[in-house]
Every structure is written in C-alpha cells, then in structure tokens.
Amino acid sequence: MVQQEVVVKNRLGLHTRPAASLVKLAAKYKSEFYLERDGYRVNGKSIIGVMTLAAEEGARILLEFEGEDEQSALAAMVDFFDRGFDEP
C-alpha cells in the first residue's frame, strides 16, 4: 500500500469535470484507490464518491493505492493533482 497527501490547486476545486477526469485516470490502473479528506473516505473509482468530497481549492487529500501497479498509479495521480487538473 502506498499513500501520499496532495493539495487541490485549481480555482474551482475538484468539481464535476476534474472528478470525471480523475475517475477515468484511476480506471486505467488495477490497484484499489481511496481518497480521504478529514476522515471522510471515498472510493476513487466512484465519480459520485469523488464528487461528495467537495474538495475546494486548498483542500488536503490523502491518496491511497493498493495493488500491483500502486507505484505508477500514485505517481500519475499525484501529477494530476500537481497540474491543478489541467485547469486554471
């Protein structure tokens, strides 16, 4: 299992469009994926779950992957957060 904390960087937060992209990215990996914010934990392969995180700009989120490709999955996801979901 690998974990890393990330910060939401784009202005509008993890709203519908980035949530959709995030779930699509997560689906490319076999590992189980969870996101946790202030003790609230959701499955990262569920768009509904990810939307309910209501993670605005500046929110700190713990990413957790478990599975054979956990290292590469985590790296890709951290990069996606660092890019601010490719939004302003």
**Residues forming the active site:** 15
Tokens of 46: 């569920």
Closest CA to 27 of 10, 50, 11, 6: 50
Residues that bind other proteins (CB under 8 A): 10-13, 15-17, 19-20, 23-24, 43, 45-49, 51-52, 54, 56-57, 87-88
Q: Please answer whether residues 1 and 64 qualify as being in contact, where contact means their C-beta atoms are separated by less than 8 angstroms.
A: yes
The minimum distance between CB 46 and other proteins, in angstroms, equals 4
The minimum distance between CB 74 and other proteins, in angstroms, equals 19
Query: Closer CB to other proteins, residue 49 or residue 67?
Result: 49
Q: Which residue has the tokens 């054979």?
A: 68
